[in-house]
Amino acid sequence: MIDSLQHELRITEIFYSLQGEARSVGVPTVFIRLTGCPLRCVYCDTTYSFTGGEKFTLGHILTEVAQHGARYVCVTGGEPLAQPNCLLLLTALCNSGYDVSLETSGALDVSAVDPRVSKVLDLKTPDSGESHRNLYENIQHLTTHDQVKFVICSRRDYDWARFKVDEYQLPQRVSDVLFSPSHEQQQPRELAEWLLADKLKVRLQLQLHKYLWNNESGH
């Protein structure tokens, strides 16, 4: 374990805020944003994390996380799994007693992610521009500890996502299926009405941080 703490990752930022999405929305959380992403979704709001960043050892990251005194830690990006040492980070956080979630695009293999981690897997919709990158083999590695998210940009995206929910029986496979309206592209109320009309067993997700802080970096 001592040697593993010397492994490095490139980090864009580590900050303490309220979780804005998924099952633990509103909960005080430490966010670790890893640098780099192989995808280029049209609605991406963290393009600043594609390049740059600073190298930190696992030990340094754990020390900084501990300073915030939070129970929940979210590893995000970019695409965290683009850095192989992300797997070591996730396990180290779990071993330290945190409740850990991973926000991943679903384009990279999740089979080696520590099973104690709650994976929030974002299946890319057609209007994201990256739906061809979805690695559907990942779905077999999801459990009731995990979540699946669809960012909805249009009615076309909604119909596509509705089909995928049924095709893979996602409500029976994971704890939560999240439909999130793309900010400034899809009206939340309209999406809510579609969900109610079709009686889908999914959760409407609004991004709390965008309403509180207008998506400022560090929140």
Q: Spell out the domain ranges in the chain.
A: 4-213
Q: What is the pLDDT of residue 151?
A: 96
| Tokens matching residue 24 | 């633990």
Identify the CA nearest to 133 among candidates 101, 107, 157.
Answer: 107
CATH for 4-213, options being 3.20.20.70, 3.30.930.10, 3.40.50.450, 3.30.200.20: 3.20.20.70
* Share of the chain residues as helix, strand and coil, in percent rounded to the nearest 5: 35, 25, 40
Q: What is the pLDDT of residue 2?
A: 47
Q: What is the pLDDT of residue 90?
A: 97
Prediction pTM value: 0.91
DSSP conformation class of 117: S
The rounded average pLDDT for each run of 10 residues, N- to C-terminus, in the chain (219 residues) is 78 92 86 95 91 95 96 96 97 97 96 97 96 97 97 97 97 96 90 96 82 58
